[in-house]
Amino acid sequence: MVGILAYGGYVPRLRLKRAAAVAANAWFAPGLKSYAQGERSICNWDEDTLTMAVAAARDCLGPTPPKSLAALYLASTTHPFADRQNAAVVATALNLPADLATSDVSGTQRAGTSGLITALNVVRGTGNPALYIAADNRRTKSGSAGELLYGAGAAALVLGPDDGTAEFVASHQIAVDFVDHYRAEGEEFDYGWEERWIRDEGFARLVPQALTGLFAKTDIKPNEIDYFVLPCVFRGVVQGIVKRIGIREAAVSDNLHTVMGEAGAAHAVVMLARLLETAKPGQTILVASFGQGCDALLFRATDRIAMTRPSRGISGFLARRKEETNYQKFLAFNDLVVRDLGMRSEVDKQTAMTTLYRNKEMILGFVGGKCRVCGTLQYPKSNICVNPNCGAVHSQDNHPFADTPAEILTWTADNLTFTADPPAHYGIVQFAAGGRFLADFTDVDPGTIDVGQPMRMTFRIKDRDRQRGFVRYFWKAAPG
């Protein structure tokens, strides 16, 4: 027996109004007007697949991750690194033990579900819990339909060797090299094929095959399904499939198109995580995902479903939103326009890998120190306790600060320091349990912060070394 023990998610705060993008491109692509309704989630300039993965995992695990985790899987088609294990960066940021199996899953839009099936089977075979994360932030050309249809998001699941909050009932997979789109090595953007071909020869033929194979493995009938998840940006496709298979149309889950768009390989898991927030004991959730074949997974909520709600979940992060109507800012954040960044941006940002490795717990895990003599907390650790009444030498044990509540002690809004989204907000935060930290602030609107305001720590991009293709990550303070 195997199931989902805990779950969580993350959706970026910024939401681009589709109407703003349509208006900016109407002179060239008037046909985009049919996609003008609603909004899509977009990453801030300091967010990417890894930062979203960490945020979703923290929402899932809470402040004290289980020490029994034996593996971490990260599924995405937009991993920041092609040859540096992205899952290992996430594991370090979460302060998970080093004796952990880590793996990146990619290569298809059903990577989120294919990786999940693999992880579930490994947990069933080994009996060891695992953390599974799916995150995606697909790049698109300006003025394309994908720019309006896609979104950014992540979801995380703790998988364990019992039925947990949602029992894994069965799965079925089919692999067919049906090319609906592709992205070649070294290319920035997907190349998509014609919609009718994808709809009629892809979804309409392959998804029913996978669902039929799944139902053949269980005693559950199609009309007994309570929730059906199938990410699809084409209107009417999912309704046609459920009618053909015999699933009730009322079981079709909201695909979140109007509020965030489709989060690529992560979207099926994002939709699953959202449904788990409201599912009742005994209800069944059928999850399907399309991409060079189709995956189908069946879960059943248990009596413990109401006991493991995440701190925010997908619904909570969807509610935490800021409307963005500046299409030019979206282009700038995604490097879709060449800007004059000014002389202050011309700084060599090479990362010393030796220093990063020796201080990885401090930098990526945000681990400081706690004095064994007087109990003083400080970040970063030092050889001598900062308490003037103590001064003990080599007395500090590791102390994680990432989940410690904080508030603003001092702050500055700087229009001279270079930042991708001026002004640069930074200042000193005071941790509730003790200790202070000079932090960059993120997700801040000018004129909205003040001394004493609650802040939380969040894992973000510090800067990018574009000359060498390296991304440097660190922790920032964001409004609670």
pLDDT one-digit tens code per residue, 202-245 = 999 999 999 999 999 999 999 999 999 999 999 899 999 999 99
One domain for residues 318 and 422: no
Band of pLDDT at residue 407, cut at 50, 70 and 90: very high
Mean of pLDDT values over 110-119: 98
CATH number of the domain enclosing 162? 3.40.47.10
Q: How many domains does the chain have?
A: 2
For residue 344, is it within any domain? no
Residue 313 belongs to some domain of the structure: yes
Per-residue 3-state assignment (H helix, E strand, C coil) for 8-73: EEECCCEEEEHHHHHHHHCCCCHHHHHHCCCEEEECCCCCCHHHHHHHHHHHHHCCCCCCCCCEEE
CATH number for position 446: 2.40.50
Domain match, 185 and 281 both: yes
Domain extent for 465? 362-366+401-479
Query: What is d(CA 382, CA 393) in angstroms, rounded to the nearest whole number?
Result: 9
Q: Residue 394 burial (CB < 10 Å; 0-12/13-18/19+)?
A: exposed
Indicate if 227 and 305 belong to the same structural domain: yes
Q: Note whether 18 and 122 are same-domain residues.
A: yes
Q: Could you tell me if residue 299 is inside a domain?
A: yes
Whether 349 is covered by a domain: the verdict is no
Pair 166, 273 in one domain: yes
Nearest 5°: the CA angle 345, 353, 94 is 95
- pLDDT at position 455: 97
* 347 domain-assigned: no
Residue spans of alpha helices (H) in 359-477: 360-363
Which tens digits make up the pLDDT trace of 41-98? Answer: 999 999 999 999 999 999 999 877 777 899 999 999 999 999 999 999 999 999 999 9
Instruction: Give the whole-angstrom CA distance, residue 356 versus residue 368.
Output: 15
Inside any domain, residue 381? no
Say how many C-beta atoms besides its own lie within 10 A of residue 453's C-beta. 17
**pLDDT more than 70, % of the chain:** 100
